């Protein structure tokens, strides 16, 4: 196996930047991670997605925007160029996290990820000059917002190759040197790393068979005193309440544990996290998650009981998402 050309620059940059630093154990694994994570033998659609990426037109932006709801860039291009750009970007559908705007092509993603960003801001420490990890980052929307907030280096990890290549499509035009999305999952990182000032895990915990292991992995990626920003599905209940769906939950087959917010606080404290604080909690609405022209499959409206929006189609409590922050010991 070899590293795809689309990821070679990431390897070259990080291999040099991380040498003889706290990231050295990860640096030694990086080549294998990039090769395996984007292997066409494991993901048969990679050649098609790479073809779409390769068909992006050569365009030069006049303005880059990382601090707006729509991350992206602007510039004077022709209608023909805009049509060529949109056609290439549509070759990378479905687009789930965003929204983005590239030269007037508005990528209306399934999730309004800007709304989540606005909800977490009150609990977020300043990112200026910090090293940040975003776990399960998708196409990197929140990574761009972190960079826009002043982070010195942003590393996103995402095991789905399509989302990595979507990030590459954005990076083609945004051209920011200190942001990388790598094809890896949290369990692929060396432990303990203790290298990041801030670690984000959003929409990941309920997909893990062992939530305590995941929380411990997050802790071990942080420097002492570093901040964890955790967003996950929760239920109502006391400190002992946890939902373990018997089958699917909201049509998702890989959902394992949905704790109450009180139980989640207890889990974090048990692992030694300090200053645990609930920042936000609320039901997901169709304003935030819905089918669009860029993600045409089923979405939240089809995941809920059509007669009772407070229940999933399976009869479980409807999705509530909580955001918590905590400090690593």
> Considering only CA atoms, which of 164, 232, 189 is closest in space to residue 28?
189
Separation of alpha carbons 191 and 114, rounded Å:
31
The separation between the first and the last C-alpha atoms of the chain, rounded to the nearest angstrom, is 39
pLDDT, tens digit, 9 for 90 and up, residues 57-98: 999 999 999 999 999 999 999 999 999 999 999 999 999 999
pLDDT, tens digit, 9 for 90 and up, residues 273-313: 999 999 999 999 999 999 999 999 999 999 999 999 999 99
Structure tokens at 206: 């309920």
pLDDT at 41: 84
Answer yes or no: is pLDDT of 40 > 90. Answer: no
Structure tokens at 48: 């098609």
User: In whole angstroms, how large is the CA radius of gyration of the chain?
Assistant: 20
pTM of structure: 0.97
- Write down the mean pLDDT value for the chain: 97
pLDDT at 1: 58
**In DSSP terms, which residues pair with 200 in a beta bridge?**
134, 229
Q: Which residues contact 59 (CB under 8 A, 6 or more apart)?
A: 75, 77, 81, 85, 103, 173
Strands 222-234 and 258-259, sheet pairing: unpaired
Helix (H) or strand (E) holding 65: strand 63-65
Domain edges within the chain: 5-327
CB atoms within 10 A of CB 318: 20
Indicate the DSSP class of residue 193.
Answer: -
Report the pLDDT averaged over residues 46-59. 97
Report the pLDDT averaged over residues 202-215. 98
Question: For the structural domain made of 5-327, what CATH number should be given?
Answer: 3.40.50.150
pLDDT category at 42 given cuts 50, 70, 90 is confident
Structure tokens at 36: 């395996």
């Amino acid at each position: 196996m070899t590293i795809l050309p689309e990821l070679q620059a990431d390897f070259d940059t990080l291999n040099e930047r991380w040498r003889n630093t706290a990231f050295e154990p990860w640096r030694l694994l990086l080549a294998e991670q990039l090769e395996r994570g984007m292997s066409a033998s494991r993901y048969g659609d990679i050649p098609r997605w790479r073809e779409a990426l390769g068909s992006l037109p050569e365009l030069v932006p006049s303005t880059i925007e990382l601090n707006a709801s729509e991350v992206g860039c602007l510039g004077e291009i022709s209608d023909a160029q805009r049509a060529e750009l949109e056609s290439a970007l549509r070759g990378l559908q479905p687009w789930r996290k965003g929204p983005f705007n590239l030269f007037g092509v508005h990528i209306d993603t399934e999730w309004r990820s800007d709304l989540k960003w606005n909800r977490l801001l009150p609990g977020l420490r300043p990112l200026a000059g910090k090293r940040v990890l975003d776990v399960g980052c998708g196409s990197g929307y929140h990574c761009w917002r972190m960079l826009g907030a002043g982070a010195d280096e942003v590393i996103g990890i995402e095991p789905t190759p399509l989302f990595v290549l979507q990030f590459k499509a954005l990076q083609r035009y945004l051209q920011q040197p200190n942001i990388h999305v790598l094809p890896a999952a949290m369990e692929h990182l060396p432990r303990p790393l203790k290298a990041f000032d801030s670690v984000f895990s959003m929409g990941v915990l309920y997909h893990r068979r062992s939530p305590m292991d995941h929380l411990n992995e997050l802790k071990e990626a942080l420097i002492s005193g570093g901040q964890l920003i955790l967003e996950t599905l929760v239920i109502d209940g006391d400190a002992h309440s946890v939902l373990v769906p018997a089958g699917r939950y909201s049509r998702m087959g890989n959902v394992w544990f949905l704790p109450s917010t009180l139980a989640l606080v207890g889990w974090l404290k048990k692992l030694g996290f300090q200053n645990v604080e609930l920042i936000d909690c609320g039901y997901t609405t169709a304003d935030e998650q819905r089918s669009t022209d860029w993600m045409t499959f089923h979405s939240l409206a089809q995941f809920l009981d059509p007669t009772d929006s407070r229940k999933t189609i399976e009869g479980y409590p409807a999705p509530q998402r909580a955001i918590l922050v905590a400090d690593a010991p």
